[in-house]
Chains A and B, each alone.
Chain A
Amino acid sequence: MILQVDNLAKSFDGFIAVAGVSFQIEKGELCSIIGPNGAGKTTVFNIITGHLSMDKGRVVFNGMDISRLPAHKICRLGLGRSFQRINIFSRLTVFENIQAAVLTHRGKSLSFFTSVQPLFQEETEEILVSVGLQDHRDAVSGPLAYGFQKQLELGIALASNPKMLLLDEPTAGMSRQETKGTIELIGKIVREKGLTLLFTEHDMSVVFSISERIMVLHQGQLIASGPPDEVRTNQDVQKIYIGESRCS
């Protein structure tokens, strides 16, 4: 088991965002958390990665209790993440974005007098290729197309050489075609590197193609967990999704 979440709870000013969520993820598993908007997916992610503090509960990663650790320490333990909205270093080039993460991972971030430019060229290049950004190496990342920025986010997360990846809606805002490509890319990288993957989505169709296990979050609680076919036929899950599409 690589990740264990016990009875996680969090409320914001009386609004209960996460109400006692527990789950476990085995090493090498490809899991997803789905649920309608506002179900608490991002909050769960933010708590696991140390971005938010929890009211109650416990998170154990790779045998270590990380419940109270700050985000940067959790990252160093091998838990990489991406964000729902674009979160990159927009004045830096694509190469520099990834290189910064690589050099941090290699423990070089506190050297003051060596030149940064020639550092970790090969490693950075390798990641650029694996996320398909080698042609945009020297482009400043801020003005890049949305899809490329999403790929770059993935690249930054990979650059810390994580054991496990948490991707928060990696295909948010993408067209069907882009979504398909991105999901294939993620699946390929995760399998090649033998990573454990946990990602969130609100679009069900995306999830079934890649997940080995799907967890369904609704109003801050897990209401189902299992292989895609089982979840698809689960009555509670159908109710939520059909109910939601009627409303919208």
Chain B
Amino acid sequence: MSRQNWILIAILVLMGLIPVTGSRYYVFLLTDILIFGLFALSLNLLLGYTGLVSFGHAAYFGIGCYACGLLIKKAGLSFGIAFAATGFFGAAAALIIGFFCVRLTRIYFALLTLAFSQIVWAIVFKWNSLTGGDTGIYDINFPKFLDSRTKYFYFTLAVVSISVLILRKIVNSPFGRILMTIRDNPERTEFIGINVKLFQLLAFIISGFFSAISGGLFAVFNHSIFPDFCYWPVSAEVLIMTILGGMYSFFGPLVGAAVLLYLRMEVTSYTVYWPFILGTILILLLFFFPGGIVGFIENQIKRWRSSK
């Protein structure tokens, strides 16, 4: 097994040991990080690997939230079945929305993803009888077999680990390699015999699937869901996480989610000026660390190795 895999297993074991410390704060924070880390990773399949800027990924996260929440609360399904179905709702939405979006390129693609996500938000916001409108849906409880924050943390850890494993497999596959050629040069990719739009759409669907999974995890973790989860600031936030961590490294977005959520938790306990801090971080990032945190570290390691 490669060294990277050993490191990953070590990190996984360390995370698994967090509840042993008895800190409810860290169990809560880590669950949050894992959920948004998965969300950012699935966005990055589009951003860093396919070169498509989605400005509306809150839609798939939100659809995941509402699919899971509604199937439990309104359809009366058990958590297991509801959660298992969640990803497919995200994938189906991504199929429909993606079908139109991949017809456009660059800024027009980004704007259309934003437009569709706002439509999703508007539907969720206005469809009172189903979604509860602005008041959202409450009392989405932990299922019996996961009736504590710690148990739910382990469940999240398992789901996120499996998802990450699958995503990692995909980006290292021939399909993943073709996504990278599309990112670098869609025109040339067409001329090696690839139906570029089809591949972009497939990436979009896979991304929607895992975004919805993270949404489903979040709905139960949060016990309640609101239209805000589909609103554009969520799209912006996950984009920031991804770029902060580094979109050209597989684990970058996960690191970005961890850093951003940790900082937010710490900073908001001292001051209400979190947006100010966030803005400053972004400016520093764009000027001094264009490759994100992980990109920066990778560069340092490379430099250190070549200087030896």
Hey, which bits of chain A sit against chain B, CB under 8 A?
49, 51, 70-73, 75-76, 80-81, 83, 87-92, 96-97, 99-101, 103-105, 108-117, 119, 156-157, 159-160
Expressed in whole angstroms, the Cα–Cα distance for A110 and B180 within the complex equals: 14
Interface string of B180-193 (1 = CB under 8 A from A): 11011101111111
Q: Decide if B172 touches A116 in the complex (CB within 8 Å).
A: yes
Q: Decide if B192 touches A100 in the complex (CB within 8 Å).
A: yes
25 A-B contact pairs sorted by A residue (CB < 8 Å)? A51-B187, A51-B191, A70-B195, A71-B190, A71-B191, A72-B190, A72-B194, A75-B190, A75-B191, A80-B191, A88-B188, A89-B180, A91-B183, A96-B180, A97-B181, A100-B180, A100-B189, A104-B193, A104-B194, A105-B193, A108-B174, A111-B174, A112-B175, A114-B173, A114-B174
Expressed in whole angstroms, the Cα–Cα distance for A103 and B172 within the complex equals: 14
Q: A120 — nearest CB in chain B belongs to which residue?
A: B174
B residues within 8 A CB of A80? 191
Q: Decide if B181 touches A89 in the complex (CB within 8 Å).
A: yes
Q: Decide if B196 touches A72 in the complex (CB within 8 Å).
A: yes
B residues within 8 A CB of A157? 191
Q: B178 — nearest CB in chain A belongs to which residue?
A: A109
Q: At the interface, is chain B mostly helix, strand, loop or mixed?
A: helix
Expressed in whole angstroms, the Cα–Cα distance for A75 and B185 within the complex equals: 16
Q: Decide if B177 touches A96 in the complex (CB within 8 Å).
A: yes
Q: Decide if A89 touches B193 in the complex (CB within 8 Å).
A: no
Q: With contacts A72-B195, A87-B187, A105-B193 known, is A113 near B170, CB below 8 A?
A: yes
B residues within 8 A CB of A72? 190-191, 193-196
Q: Decide if A116 touches B181 in the complex (CB within 8 Å).
A: no
Most buried by A among B183, B187, B190, B199: B190
Interface membership of B176, Cβ < 8 A? yes
Q: B188 — nearest CB in chain A belongs to which residue?
A: A87
Q: Decide if A92 touches B191 in the complex (CB within 8 Å).
A: no
Q: With contacts A87-B185, A91-B183, A116-B176 known, is A104 near B170, CB below 8 A?
A: no
Option from B173, B188, B190, B248 in Cβ contact (under 8 Å) with A113: B173
Interface membership of B24, Cβ < 8 A? no
Q: Which 10 A-B pairs have the closest CB atoms?
A: A89-B184, A75-B193, A101-B192, A76-B193, A71-B190, A87-B188, A116-B177, A89-B181, A108-B174, A116-B174
Q: Decide if B194 touches A90 in the complex (CB within 8 Å).
A: no
Q: B184 — nearest CB in chain A belongs to which residue?
A: A89
Q: A159 — nearest CB in chain B belongs to which residue?
A: B192
Q: B187 — nearest CB in chain A belongs to which residue?
A: A87
Interface membership of B264, Cβ < 8 A? no
A residues within 8 A CB of B174? 103, 108-111, 114, 116, 119
Q: Decide if B192 touches A115 in the complex (CB within 8 Å).
A: no
* Other contacts beyond A70-B190, A87-B188, A159-B192: 4, CB < 8 A: A87-B187, A100-B189, A114-B173, A115-B172
Q: Decide if B170 touches A92 in the complex (CB within 8 Å).
A: no
Q: With contacts A109-B174, A111-B173, A116-B172 known, is A100 near B191, CB below 8 A?
A: no
Q: With contacts A88-B185, A91-B248 known, is A160 near B172, CB below 8 A?
A: no
Q: With contacts A96-B177, A100-B177, A103-B174 known, is A91 near B184, CB below 8 A?
A: yes
Option from B170, B181, B193, B248 in Cβ contact (under 8 Å) with A160: B193
List residues of B (75-131) whose CB comes within 8 Å of A's CBs: none
Q: Decide if B194 touches A83 in the complex (CB within 8 Å).
A: no
Q: A153 — nearest CB in chain B belongs to which residue?
A: B188
Interface membership of B169, Cβ < 8 A? yes
Q: A82 — nearest CB in chain B belongs to which residue?
A: B191
Expressed in whole angstroms, the Cα–Cα distance for A100 and B188 within the complex equals: 11
A residues within 8 A CB of B175? 109-112
Option from A73, A92, A112 in Cβ contact (under 8 Å) with B181: A92
Q: Decide if B195 touches A112 in the complex (CB within 8 Å).
A: no
Q: B177 — nearest CB in chain A belongs to which residue?
A: A116
Q: Decide if A104 touches B185 in the complex (CB within 8 Å).
A: no
B residues within 8 A CB of A75? 190-193
Q: Decide if A112 touches B169 in the complex (CB within 8 Å).
A: yes
Q: With contacts A89-B185, A91-B184 known, is A100 near B178, CB below 8 A?
A: yes
A residues within 8 A CB of B177? 96, 99-100, 103, 116
Q: B171 — nearest CB in chain A belongs to which residue?
A: A116
Q: With contacts A104-B193, A116-B173 known, is A92 near B187, CB below 8 A?
A: no
